[in-house]
Structure 1
Amino acid sequence: MGTAMTNPAVAALIARSHRLGADPRTTNYAGGNTSAKGAGTDPVTGEPVELLWVKGSGGDLGTLTENGLAVLRLDRLRALPGVYPGVEREDEMVAAFDYCLHGRGGAAPSIDTAMHGLVDVPHVDHLHPDAGIAIATAADGPALTEEIFGDRVLWVDWRRPGFQLGLDIAAVQRANPQAIGVILGGHGITAWGATSDECEANSQEIIGIAARYIADKGKEAPFGPRIIKNLDKTVRRTKAADLFPIIRGLASTDRPQVGHFTDDDVVLDFVGSERLKELAALGTSCPDHFLRTKVKPLVLDTAPDAPLDEVTTRLKELHEAYRADYRAYYDRHATPDSPAIRGADPAIVLVPGIGMFSFGANKQTARVAGEFYVNAINVMRGAEAISRYAPIDEAEKFRIEYWSLEEAKLQRMPKPKPLSTRVAFVTGGGSGIGRAIALRLAAEGACVVVADRDAATAETVAREIGGTDAAISVTADVTDAAAVEAAVNEAVLAFGGVDLIVNNAGLSISKPLLETTEQDWDLQHDVMAKGSFLVAKAAARILIAQGMGGDIVYISSKNSLFAGPDNVAYGAAKADQAHQVRLLAAELGAFGVRVNGINPDGVVRGSGIFAGGWGAQRAAVYGVPEERLGEFYAQRTLLKREVLPEHVANAVFVLTAGDLSHTTGLHIPVDAGVAAAFLR
């Protein structure tokens, strides 16, 4: 693509895309596409050539870069209708786009490329605004379009995205030079303009007029009266935290999922309405919506304040019915050439009085699924306000959901990382060993909850990992049962549950027996022995509710085995942790939960404990300068190597990444070989 960004058409396209993509009323995440036509140079002949720059497959308008554009020669694109084999074979045209590419690099052309290339106007926008889709899914959409827009915006009947749709839109544009765009039945809008600014203005005009019409002409309560009262916010979120692991476990029947919870007003208004079941059963219409949300959600029908055991029983019944219904949908429409069923679990679960739970292969996917269903709610509200919501029929939905081109896109996705879909909860994660563990687990694909009593350090580590789709921080004193429960509930509300718990929080005070006070003893046992117990207990409740198995890892110490001097309180607390590993491995194995421990030698560099004074105390015990303590520890090992935080993190990864799936109750030494701490 070379110096494409010096081309004014491309610069304007990128800027326009960012503005359109930043406004959720205009389009949704990764939805829609934009394009610009302009002059370039053929690198072989040096002659001028007309080019099309268009957002490529899988990109997002709000974050579009030059590399996210596909660049094609217009002369070759415009010649494609001459070899078009007809609508029954239109999928073959996607491969033909590759023969129209200009240069190397850039994104793969999307299915909508024909729409942009064949419409003979320099700039084109294809968007999925809620107000536009409301018109597009209204039962009398064609008549409404004429009433609202006159001949300035035309109606195009539903057609699956592809080459024929591009031809249809191009034909409308040629026959109606006064028009600025079209409403695509069941789908969205397309607008165009002679300049980038004109195209953007035309897109905004269509969206704005549609939204104003719905606001001015629409009835006030299109979902009917509210029949379910929302729970108080605090109670609501407590209930959500109780329900989420149960729902996540059910939604992970076919494959593990990460979750997202939403209790925004727009969701609560819909799930509490009289017409919830009726409208939810109709499913979504826009392909961008149902590809992420499935064709329809699971709707819970128990009272918001019903007992948890009653709700759990009903959820399991509804889930089984949902799976049977989805399998029947697949069987009704599958052909011998259809891809295999991809899974029958819901992506969206609606709970009156509480909110919406959405699921996906990672947090971003789960969050975006929820955002798309909010779009669908807005579409239903708009369509019902002015007409009757009439989405495309399920046969068309199936054709897109199990489209060979969609399957090919899924197959091109990168292989998941070893810990993808897993939610890790790391105590003492704000520094030292905990920080190293949090960073390593995140790098391997886990969503990470960084728990620490120091809110600032926990937040720093979470930000180091990335945004809230990758990590969050929680403040927790592990000696406080209520604080631990609250922190675990925060993890549940953020990601749907927990799968991998690391009991790492610790401290140490090095004193001879006669100088060790009760306070010294109690503090170390409260943080490590009691703290690990409280975290394991709170996490086990979630792990059992999910029914997905899981891992609990204790960062113990070689001191749980090795009797060193001036170390009675610390060593005894670590021995307590070590035996908790064995006890919990025996108890939780029935639930598929593995419990293992790691016994590091003294970690000096990067350790929060050593920086807090333990290093100076231990150096004094051994009669070495504090700055030489790490070297001293290394020289007493068999391998003569110093143990660092990342070495402990490596062991956590090995224990939890899957290759040791049949290992529980184990302690792994990470001590470079301390013979006195050998497991016997």
Structure 2
Amino acid sequence: MTVTNDLIARSNRLGAEPHITNYAGGNTSAKGTEIDPVTGEQVELLWVKGSGGDLGTLAEKGLAVLRLDRMRALVNVYPGLDREDEMVAAFDYCLHGTGGAAPSIDTAMHGLVDAAHVDHLHPDAGIAIATAKDGDKLTKKIFGEKVVWVPWRRPGFQLGLDIAAIKAANPQAIGCILGGHGITAWADTSAQCEKNSRWIIDTAQAYLDAKGKKAPFGRERKGFGALPAEERRAKAAALAPTIRGLASHDRPMVGHFSDDPRVLDFLASAKAPALAELGTSCPDHFLRTKVKPLLLDLPAGASVEASIQRLTELHERYRADYTAYYEKHADADSPAIRGADPLIVLIPGVGMFSFGANKQTARVAGEFYLNAINVMRGAESVSTYTPISDAEKFRIEYWALEEAKLARMPQPKSHATRVAFVTGAASGIGKAIATRLAAEGACVVIADLDLAKAQAAAAELGSTDVAIGVQVNVTDEAQIAKGIQDAVLAFGGIDIVVNNAGLSLSKPLLETTEADWDLQHDVMAKGSFLVSKAAARVLIDQGLGGDVIYISSKNSVFAGPNNIAYSAAKADQAHQVRLLAVELGEHGIKVNGINPDGVVRGSGIFAAGWGANRAKTYGIEEEKLGEFYAQRTILKREVLPDHVANAVAVLTGPELSHTTGLHIPVDAGVAAAFLR
């Protein structure tokens, strides 16, 4: 249908530009007619972006479709401002057809306004005017009669009535500035509506550019400027685990780091402390960033140790302040407090850490706070930034409708909020483990000797919100440190470490060279030690517990033929499990091992020549090696990479929370390898 096609195309264009609206923010609509399948008559309909959707990726299934006659008839039963929330449930009785999205709180704005097409957006320039102290006067000055000022009102049915009345009273207007919130534009055609929206945004930005002060945030504070890039990232990585631990005091969080120049400029400025304390204004902003961030009040050159100590103190203060905010504004019907930890942590000279229940949510929270910085910059350049009051913020943050929206979200998967670092994960067992953990909701770092393969394997799992690929030679301490740093900056920290990288040269004692011995021990024994050591620092600093998993082998306890170097290295790994379980237990870190039998199909080791050597040792054809291994087991089953991945998922999941120092055989039953 042309109406919905045009609406979706317009929405996608507007949603693709961050300065126009935020991820999952704003909504668009179109009105038209369609045949009612029951009566066969034409009926007027409203297509509007549904609750929780995103303009940039909006598809037809993300639209709510309502009958306009029924929706507009709700005006006659509207019980008033004190009960306007009841109208959201009433929208369900106006729906047309089956499927589609649930109507959002902004539906009234679109249905009641007498225009075929309506856009409600959150552009930085528009919100800058909306949050200016004299926003009403600026609106008149900038736009004349074409755009009308609407004083702050919480989104809802009454706001829809207000905007409808303003449009009726101002036939020359193409839109309005919503105080403290955003903009709304309308037109008779989809193309003209988009044109009107863009005109309002571009006109506001042009005014800010022409009339705004060159340094709206004031002078740069001495010592608070951005550190050099390499130093900045190193300090961010050193602070990240502690910051993630603080942000996860009430519930585990995934993190995101940004050192965007606009963030660094803001943090260096004289006005940053006061503006940060005022918090954000647009509801879409503070619902994802909390009402205000935690700002470290030390200069950029402060040591990591001093920064950590001060962050811990500020975190306690932040929690007390947020609890006081909740208690001041909550009443008997308010939802319970959702946690008092910050979602945005700002470090002068370094950048911004943002947090959420998953990587996408954490990243988007950071994007929203960058939007808020842009808004503050614009408002301060021509006026004084004046966000809505804390009382109004609380009414939205702890709105019963917002609580109901959260309750509709799917239950998190078993490994949600957990970050896994898997070595040798571009192929074979490691790839199977990474794939399984990602499927269970974890963020995954694919660490492999081959960067291109690591990145390709990560891309198979999804976007960088799900997985990243890093190059790590586990025998190189510097490369391991770099890989851990990349992981920490990508996701905020690490929760699961899987020592899987390995290789094998199947040779009898007299044919095993010193180089053969050193190579296998370097990769598996030393490599596991180095990875565990580097990751343990992160796990301990976070204070969130964690899991270290060693992919050992049944050969760690079974004396197979012609395998001295490999089996000895695996035995070393097996005892590392026991040693680290004892040492790291006081930090809540579990250390366990998995002993697979020979994994032939899908194994990188076997594909690299190990299979041919083992087949020769046993006097069979290589293609029959998997069958041979299966037949010597009690269960007569071949072991595959997915079977090892299953064991990793269980060991690192919620069910085995009290298990550490254990080796789990995944060998279909090899009696000679039974643990004693």
Identify the TM-score tier after normalising by the shorter chain.
Answer: over 0.9
- Calculate the TM-score normalised by the size of structure 2: 0.99
2:232 counterpart of 1:247: no
- Structure 2: how far apart are the matches of 1:435 and 1:334? 48
- Name 1:492's counterpart in structure 2: 488
Number of the residue aligned with 2:507: 511
What is aligned with 1:44?
38
For 1:434 and 1:566, the matched residues in 2 are separated by 25
Q: Indicate the residue corresponding to 1:623 in structure 2.
A: 619
One-letter amino acid matched to 1:555 = I
Q: Given residue 516 of structure 2, which amino acid in structure 1 is its aligned partner?
A: D
Aligned partners of 1:157, 1:80: CA distance in 2, in Å? 24
Of 56, 72, 77, 1:78 maps to 72
**Which letter does structure 2 place at the counterpart of 1:67?**
K
CA drift at 1:307: 2.1
Shift of 1:251: 0.3
* Equivalent position of 1:54 in the other structure: 48
- Residues 217-238 of structure 1: per-residue CA shift (max 9 Å, x gap): 0001010111112110000000
Q: Deviations over 1:601-628 (max 9, x none)?
A: 0000000000000000000000010000
Q: 1:117 aligns to what?
A: 111
CA distance in 1, matches of 2:68, 2:225: 57
Please give the alpha-carbon distance, in whole angstroms, between the structure 1 residues aligned to 2:352 and 2:93: 44
* Counterpart code for 1:429: A
Aligned counterpart in structure 2 of residue 384 of structure 1, from 359, 374, 380 = 380
Give secondary structure in 2 for the equivalent of 1:253: coil
**Residue in structure 1 matching 2:629, options 627, 633, 636:** 633
Letter in 2 for 1:436: A
- The whole-number CA distance in structure 1 between the counterparts of 2:519 and 2:410 is 47
> Which residue in the other structure is 1:361 paired with?
357
Give the alignment partner of residue 304 of structure 2, picking from 308, 324, 337.
Answer: 308
Pairing 1:676–2:672 present: yes
Matching residue of 1:220: 214
Q: What corresponds to 1:3 in structure 2?
A: none
| Letter of the structure 1 residue corresponding to residue 508 of structure 2 | P
What does 1:383-402 correspond to in 2, within 5 Å? 383-402=379-398
Cα distance in 2 for residues equivalent to 1:572 and 1:637 = 22
Shift of 1:313: 1.0
The residue aligned with 1:188 is 182
- 1:208 is matched with which residue: 197, 202, 207? 202
The SS at the match of 2:498 is strand
Output aligned runs, 1:89-128, within 5 Å: 89-128=83-122
Partner of 1:593: 589
Structure 2 residue aligned with 1:144, among 138, 145, 157?
138
The answer to whether residue 519 in structure 2 is matched with residue 523 in structure 1 is yes
5 Å-filtered alignment, 1:221-620, equals 221-227=215-221, 228-620=224-616
In structure 2, C-alpha distance between the alignment counterparts of 1:309 and 1:141, rounded to whole Å: 44
| TM-score calculated relative to the size of structure 1 | 0.99
- Aligned-partner Cα distance in 1 for 2:618–2:300: 62
Q: 1:31 aligns with which of 25, 35, 44?
A: 25
**Partner secondary structure for residue 672 of structure 1:** coil
- 1:462-499 Cα offsets, whole Å, 9 max, x none, are 01100000000000100000000100110000000000
Counterpart Cα distance in 2 of 1:622 and 1:653:
33
Residues 46-90 of structure 1 deviation map (CA, whole Å, 9 limit, x = unaligned): 100000000000000000000000000000011111000000000
CA distance in 2, matches of 1:281, 1:309: 25
Q: CA deviation at 1:159?
A: 0.2
Name the SS for the 1:356 alignment partner: strand
For 1:129, which of 123, 137, 156 is the aligned residue?
123
3-state SS, counterpart of residue 553 of structure 1: strand
3-state DSSP of counterpart to 1:12? helix
| Greater displacement, 457-466 / 534-543 | 457-466
SS at 1:642 equivalent:
coil
Are residue 665 (structure 1) and residue 661 (structure 2) matched? yes
| Matched residue type, 1:312 | I
Whole-Å Cα distance in 1 between the matches of residues 617 and 367 of structure 2? 58
SS at match of 1:610: helix
Whether the 8 Å contact between 2:225 and 2:264 is mirrored in structure 1 is no
Measured after TM superposition, the shift of residue 311 of structure 1 is: 1.3
SS in 2 for 1:604: coil
Paired residues in the alignment total 674
3-state secondary structure, aligned to 1:585: helix
Q: Which amino acid counterpart does residue 645 of structure 2 have in structure 1?
A: A
* Paired amino acid for 2:205: A
Q: Structure 1: how far apart are the matches of 2:334 and 2:560?
A: 66
Matched residue type, 1:418: S
For 1:652 and 1:70, locate their aligned partners in 2 and report how far apart those are by CA, in whole Å. 42
The CA RMSD over aligned residues, in Å, is 0.5
Using the alignment, how far apart are the partners of 1:93 and 1:203 within structure 2?
27
Shift of 1:343: 0.1
| Alignment match, 2:159 | 165
CA distance in 2, matches of 1:316, 1:25: 34
Give the C-alpha shift of residue 456 in structure 1: 1.9
- Is the Cα contact below 8 Å between 2:225 and 2:265 reproduced in 1? no
Match of 1:650 in 2: 646
Give the SS at the match of 1:72: strand
CA displacement at 1:303 relative to structure 2 = 2.4
Q: Deviations over 1:378-397 (max 9, x none)?
A: 00000000000000000000
1:67 aligns with 2:61: yes
**Aligned residue type for 2:195:** A
What residue ranges of structure 1 are gaps of 5+ in the alignment? Answer: 1-6
Shift in Å, 1:658: 1.0
Question: How many Å separate the matches in 2 of 1:217 and 1:308?
Answer: 41
SS in 1 for 2:215: coil
Determine what percentage of the aligned residue pairs are the same residue. 74
SS state at 1:246 partner: helix
The CA deviation string for residues 75-112 of structure 1, in whole angstroms up to 9 with x for no partner, is 00111110000000000000010000001100000000
1: CA distance, partners of 2:329 / 2:323: 10
